[in-house]
């Protein structure tokens, strides 16, 4: 991304200093505070009352992947430091299941990794994502639309839907609408290899405009694409990482 030979941390839906420190901290844009150990967010009572709360589980694999495909350079970066929660409702609305009815997700800018440390440093700099001033990328879910069952078995149910929410990058918020596949899995011997409790898998993909989020310099267009592709792959469980064996 930057004026760089190549670069290592860009966006995708997350905060470094406070996350590592582990102390609860309210994010600048009014997001919920982090839990004591910083492994997830404190879920507001109003959100929790609308359904079942699922917590993002620590990432073994890439949780957020960005791809910049520009004429002079193809850049791919990942983060496995997404924290947050989502609330699932089995109730039916006017058009079908309500699906995901609330959620907040946070990713530390410093966690983005393109495989080249110097490029990553540039990405965190003031000409790019400015991690010193804006350490997090955040996403707040507003609603799910057009929820439909696409597959149902004894082990899981997969839904298609459109997720609508607000993404904040570099202090600038824009609306995101993305098609998503959500798979709901009751706890079983198989799911316990991933995490304790019932599971949800979220898969989504969308584009982010750098200029819309205040990222503009001479490199964009030639070495860095104006629109960056984002792919999200999250596992969430009803047992918080603060309480699970993996969180201890």
**Do 80 and 234 form a contact (C-beta atoms < 8 A)?**
no
Total-model pTM: 0.85
Identify each DSSP E strand in 60-135 by its residue range.
Answer: 64-70, 73-79, 82-92, 97-108
Mean pLDDT of the chain: 86
Domains of the chain: 17-247 (2.40.128.110)
Candidates 195, 188, 248; CA nearest to 56 is: 195
CA distance 139 to 105: 5
Q: In 10 A of CB 221, how many CB atoms?
A: 14
The pLDDT value recorded for residue 30 is 72
Quick: pLDDT tens for 43-60: 999 999 999 999 999 888
Quick: pLDDT tens for 199-214: 999 999 999 999 999 9
The pLDDT value recorded for residue 94 is 66
CA dihedral 147, 137, 44, 27 (to 10 degrees): -170
The predicted model gives 113-133 an average pLDDT of: 94
**Do 9 and 214 form a contact (C-beta atoms < 8 A)?**
no
CA dihedral 64, 69, 75, 78 (to 10 degrees): 0
């Amino acid at each position: 991304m930057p004026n760089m030979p190549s670069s290592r941390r860009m966006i995708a839906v997350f905060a470094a200093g406070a996350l590592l420190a582990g102390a609860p901290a309210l994010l600048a844009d009014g997001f919920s505070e982090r839990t004591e150990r910083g492994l997830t967010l404190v879920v507001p009572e109003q959100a929790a009352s609308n359904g079942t709360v699922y917590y993002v589980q620590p990432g073994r694999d890439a949780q957020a992947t960005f791809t910049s495909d520009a004429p002079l350079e193809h850049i791919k970066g990942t983060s496995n430091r997404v924290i947050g929660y989502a609330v699932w409702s089995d109730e039916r609305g006017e058009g079908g299941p309500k699906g995901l009815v609330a959620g907040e997700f946070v990713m530390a800018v410093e966690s983005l990794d393109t495989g080249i440390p110097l490029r990553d440093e540039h990405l965190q700099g003031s000409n790019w994502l400015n991690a010193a001033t804006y350490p997090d990328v955040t996403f707040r879910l507003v609603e799910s639309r057009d929820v439909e069952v696409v597959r149902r078995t004894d082990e899981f149910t997969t839904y298609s839907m459109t997720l609508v929410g607000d993404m904040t990058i570099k202090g600038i918020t824009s609306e995101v609408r993305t098609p998503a596949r959500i798979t709901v899995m009751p706890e079983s011997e198989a799911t316990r290899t991933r995490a304790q409790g019932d599971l949800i898998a979220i898969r989504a993909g969308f584009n982010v405009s750098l200029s819309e989020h205040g990222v503009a310099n001479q490199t964009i267009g030639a070495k860095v694409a104006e629109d960056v592709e984002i792919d999200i792959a999250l596992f969430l469980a009803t047992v918080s990482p603060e309480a699970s064996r993996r969180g201890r």
